[in-house]
Amino acid sequence: MLLKTFGWSFAATAAGLALAGVLWGWQGLAIVGILSILEISLSFDNAVINAGILRKMNPFWQKIFLTLGILIAVFGMRLVFPVVIVAITAKLGPIEAVNLAINDKAQYEELVTSAHPAIAAFGGIFLLMIFLDFIFEERDYKWLSWIEKPMAKMGKLDTLSIIIALVALLVSAMTVATSVAHGGGDKSATVLLSGVAGLITYLVVAGISGYFEGKLEDEDEAAEEAAEARAAKGNGSAVGLAGKAAFFMFLYLEVIDASFSFDGVISAFAITNDIFMMALGLGIGAMYIRSLTVFLVRKGTLDDYVYLEHGAHYAIGALAVILLITIKYEIPEVVTGLVGVVLIALSFASSVVRNRREGSSGDASGEKPEVTSGV
């Protein structure tokens, strides 16, 4: 199971490190290895979130996520994305931007860094919406019930998450964006525009994927009642609908992954400004995150450890706040990575304690323990 799931990641690691050694020597090999570890530490919570979505998809789309999805993650976000950002901010053509990235790495790094306020605002608001929609939803299991119970009641106001996100964006534009560390000057207008774009992107992608997911669930219920009748008529509408639902959930996954990759790409410039070295190291890390996502799905880990999703979403909320703060202030990468790891570790430990408590309760009564809401 482990080799089957992580086999491609192991192979990518061996090939990537060997290529780094050949192209850049021992120093390049070390840098690529460090970048891989950086990406894994910053994106571990991404794997948990992705697993919660991916488990709703069939094996075919899980394979698409591992194949086409990894190409988008590695070449799109880790290689093409920084070049596109430079081309847009510096008003250069694609060829000029690539030439700058290869031949004038210092200037390239400076241009990417100056675009950080826009990237942080877009990604911060997008991730904040993911966290808010989670925390405001009524759930069977509650990890930090003293927070989640009142939040679920407040969540009955459908637009509350949007209101909070807009307030957070407005506060960011009026405070940290007035004098930024990256590029200098007042970036309030840029932060506002990018944050609104992040909010709109979330609402569009999440709304469409949610719509088709709901339609798919309705179709599944109807299929259980009239499967023989549909088979006799040769009606393939359910298959087409499932395909649409899976496609938009896949699109949602890719947008989430893109938002998570922002901090990894920017943080990588603290280690190297070579785009190919960066893409190779971050790409290896992205492979492990993809494999870990599938591993969590196939092992049913999220069903067994019910608070993992809670911990991951709290980590997303923390990352969203950190991204908005970094518009002006420098925050060490180790802090960003540790926040997510600690929150997920605590949620895992809470899940283990709950499972033991429920198991003991079931053994004592001789019956299967009831589902509880947790802490």
pLDDT digits (tens, 9 = 90+) for 134-181: 888 888 788 888 888 888 888 888 888 999 999 999 999 998 888 776
For range 327-355, the mean pLDDT: 84
pLDDT surpasses 90 at 115 = no
Please identify which residue in the block is written with the tokens 């007042």: 186
**Per-residue pLDDT at 239:** 40
**Residue 81, both tokens:** 């994305």
In a 13 Å sphere around the CA of 261, the CA atoms on its Cβ side amount to 30
**Per-residue pLDDT at 269:** 67
CA distances from 211 to 9, 246, 249, 309, 311 (A): 33, 11, 10, 22, 26
Interacting residues of 328 by C-beta distance below 8 A, sequence separation 6+: 175, 176, 177, 179, 180, 181
237 — pLDDT class (breaks 50, 70, 90): very low
Distance of alpha carbon 167 from alpha carbon 161, whole angstroms:
10
**Per-residue pLDDT at 374:** 47
**Per-residue pLDDT at 140:** 79
DSSP state of 178: G
For range 90-116, the mean pLDDT: 80
Distance of alpha carbon 81 from alpha carbon 13, whole angstroms:
22
Looking at the chain, the whole-number percentage of residues with pLDDT higher than 70 is 82
pLDDT surpasses 80 at 19 = yes
For range 333-362, the mean pLDDT: 81
- Greater confidence (113 vs 366) lies with 113
For range 340-345, the mean pLDDT: 85
Least confident range of 88-97, 145-154, 289-298: 88-97
**Per-residue pLDDT at 360:** 62
Please identify which residue in the block is written with the tokens 């009748």: 229
**Per-residue pLDDT at 171:** 93
**Per-residue pLDDT at 200:** 92
Phi, psi of 348 (to 5 degrees): -65, -45
List alpha helices for the chain, DSSP H.
2-54, 59-66, 68-71, 81-89, 94-103, 105-114, 116-135, 145-154, 160-174, 188-233, 237-268, 275-298, 301-304, 308-325, 333-365
**Residue 302, both tokens:** 């999220």
- Greater confidence (232 vs 290) lies with 290
**Per-residue pLDDT at 241:** 38
**Per-residue pLDDT at 168:** 94
pLDDT tens for each residue of 40-55: 777 777 788 788 777 7
372 — pLDDT class (breaks 50, 70, 90): very low
Contact (Cβ atoms closer than 8 angstroms) between residue 6 and residue 295: yes
pTM: 0.73
pLDDT surpasses 50 at 368 = no
pLDDT tens for each residue of 186-206: 888 889 998 998 899 888 877
Mean pLDDT of the chain: 78
End-to-end alpha carbon distance in the chain? 33
For range 283-308, the mean pLDDT: 82
Query: Cβ of 102: how many Cβ atoms within 10 Å?
Result: 13
**Per-residue pLDDT at 182:** 59
240 — pLDDT class (breaks 50, 70, 90): very low
Least confident range of 43-47, 89-93, 358-362: 358-362
Distance of alpha carbon 339 from alpha carbon 113, whole angstroms:
23
